[in-house]
Amino acid sequence: MINITKNEEVVLNQIKIFDAEYPEGIPTNVLIKDLGFHEYDLIDILKELDDKNLITFKDNKSFLSESEKDVNTVNSKKDIETLELNKKEKESYELIKSLVDENNLISKYTLEGYLLYEDLKLSNFRMYHIILSLQNKGLLKTIEKSDGEYYLLVE
C-alpha cells in the first residue's frame, strides 16, 4: 500500500482525469491553472508522486503510471511518517523475534547491526527511535550482563 497526502491525491485524481486528453503528457501549466496550486508546491507534489511510482514526471509533463496501485490517503506528511514508522516498528519487532536466543536475549550491538545494515537498512536516528518506542511499549528491555549489554524481548 502506498501512502499519499490529500494534496497528492487531488493532483493524482486530476492527472487521471486529464490522462486521456493529453496522451503526450499533461503539461504542468495545465495542472497549475486547473488546480490553483503554486508552481513550486505542485512540482514538489509531482516529484513525490513520481517517487512513489504513481506517475512519471519529466520535462514538465506528467504521465499516469500504467499499473493500478493500492493507495491510502492521509492528512499530512507527518501522518505518512507515523504510518511508515509503525510499519518499520512491526518489521523490526519481527526481525528481533527471529534473532533472539532461547532466553529471548540479543546483544545490543548485534541487534543494532541488523537494523542498520541488513534488510531494513534503518538510519541511526530511526533505529534508536524504534528501539526506544519498543521499550516504551514494554516489548523490549535493556539488560546488563557481565559480558555486555543485551536486549530482552518481552513476549
Distances (CA, A) of 95 to 1, 16, 98, 115, 133: 21, 39, 5, 8, 15
Q: Give the 3-state secondary structure of residue 70.
A: coil
- pLDDT at site 19: 92
CA 93 to chain centre: 17
Confidence bin at 85 (pLDDT 50/70/90): low
State how far the Cα of 64 lies from the Cα of 57, in Å rounded to an integer: 9
CATH for 2-73 is 1.10.10.10
114-131 pLDDT, tens digit each: 988 988 888 888 899 889
pLDDT higher than threshold 90 for residue 31? yes
Domains 2-73 and 76-153 share a fold: yes
CA–CA gap between residue 155 and residue 23 (Å, rounded): 55
Query: How close are the terminal C-alpha atoms of the chain, in Å?
Result: 28
- Would you state the pLDDT for residue 144? 92
pLDDT attached to residue 62: 95
Distance CA 140, CA 154 (A): 6
- Domain coordinates in residue numbering, the chain: 2-73, 76-153
Is the per-residue pLDDT at 81 higher than 80? Answer: no
What is the value of pTM for the model shown? 0.59
Please report which confidence band the pLDDT of residue 93 belongs to, taking 50, 70 and 90 as the band edges.
confident
What is the mean pLDDT of the segment spanning 6-12?
Answer: 93
Q: Is the pLDDT of residue 88 over 70?
A: yes
Return the CATH fold of 76-153: Arc Repressor Mutant, subunit A (1.10.10)
Tell me the pLDDT tens digit for each residue of 35-66.
Answer: 999 999 999 999 999 998 999 999 999 999 88
